[in-house]
Structure 1
């Protein structure tokens, strides 16, 4: 019979087909697995996004993020460096989501994850494309502003950028404005680019441009360890004359003597008043001198080795007056000390008047010291904010006396003296940033964008700006 033979043949046929299929699937699985392991480094770096711990995202402005903030979003150290370099190349600030998306260190997958939380407009104004297209686009014929790509640099051979003029940089391929900014950066460094490292730090020069110039630069590779920027650009303050100290007894010198030690006439008078009124005529210890609020800690340390406190020069207690003499003196003092505080300007109020009003010596000294550092009070809240002061008494003072701020010095960020910026309580923490950025951005509006201070600090700073 032929029927069993036919069934056996069919069975063998399907068994062979199934075996072949299994071999083929195994081969495809092995091939795909091997291909995955052979991904290029960039692909592996992108995959790292999924390995980082998933963090809860919240709204953020990428212009406010520090290096550690970018790392917290899941980027590697190398990717963060690329993002920050890209930010410098596009002008120091991302202007839109679209611009941020073009950074090749941010994959499409990662951008899609972050996009709902980014506090930037979808697209930049058209002029910003023209301004910032010196960064290579991601390619594609549909890129709308491709016509504005950066000119290629022409390197004349080995060169020292310290010897280059603005025209030389323009001939190389930079715009006139860029060339001017590069030279201002050199002035900021003290008149020399110092090293290849410092030349590379100039934010006008992109990574691509530096790579092209680097083999031709006649500069040392590394910056000297003892190098520091002296920040003498646009400095208007004369150098203080060095004091030639000699041994002196602070209980014997007069107003002129304190001025010879480097104090102003007003400061010298405060020191004498402090000695004669608060200390009853004599400094008896070094601490007595150090506590005088117009003598800074640094100045005291300078004078300390030359101070001679001779007990023979201490003033003794005055003989007691008779009862009738005391009454006459007390009445005279009371008539002299009666001050109409409604006619007193808080920016002119004296130490003696503050004591008369009811402040203790420490509070009075603190208020005058704070007023001096500010250059004068601009609003009444500043008086209440004075450190370690009786708030109730301060409130009473500002409701009684008047405040005239017409003589308080005010500047623009672009023109403010460096010494003023570095010592003013509201500006000193941003002083270096302001001095640096105004070299290439002399407009206050641009400087504000670049220094990025918190709104509450900005409000205080604007009190002293024109």
Structure 2
């Protein structure tokens, strides 16, 4: 028993010695790692080159590391300070540029540290200026001088009046006044309690500048319609597009001149109301009427097939060269129109005039080539506007599934695209 006791004691001593040795080994001082230093310089610094901030576009500000919104703010700030940055110190004051970012780009800015005395004084005075309102007022009655006196710069005052003119000569409501981009939210909040304007915009008000211009009464004068060019017709209250259509109608359709009052009335862009307004001022001079043209044969569009109508005939009807060319070009790609609606889908045409044409002229689609998807020539599939984007798939599927219905099912087209294809399928 005594022997076993000593054996156990010896074992415990050895175990304790091992544990102490292990602890000492693991807790000894080890060589420390060097302190890590991280490079904080922006990656954009390496790509920077000298630049003039006055010529930078929003995209180039973004390339310098600014967000789209920050770039927009910087450009607005440039307009506020007069349209040109005059010094680095001035640019630094833009709140969209942090101090850290400014120090990063500062060495590359092609501007003096400080602007000339007169410029800095002008800028400082602008910064310190506050909007001063002494009482309630109607902004419609304010002049440039009044807005400057209130605290706005001359350019801002002119912009405010230009905006009023755009609205039709009145700010209409507080809502519309607030939309003036030159008036900041802070300044609007100062002004709004004093504005003698209704809070909401009337529903009857229409913002469109075009609609506003239509309200302007035309001052008529005696005129010969055969002597007027497009500008002359515009002066009578017609839009640029309408004026050009009238000139084309006269020069192409009527062979160079209106022969009588009825010819003018028949022009579809001249409404009956408009014709009555200017009727008494129309003075047809016999000398300007091309009598030799009266005997010339005119195209009977009620008998002219839309699949054979020529470029010259379209010009004769009143279309301009761009619209006529687009229609002929689209018809050529399709190898012919199948339904009249396709003509209205033509890109870049005068749809009003073409609508009138297709309501008169017939369409014969009997000679338009049609195929099944299985038999259609590859060059036809790859060139036809309705098939070319699916041509490769059609050619692949028909080698295994010689059935149009299955091929259409595999194509998984939108219903409207499938309907267009079916116009040219047997």
Normalized against structure 1, the TM-score is what? 0.37
TM-score (norm 2): 0.40
Larger Rg: 2
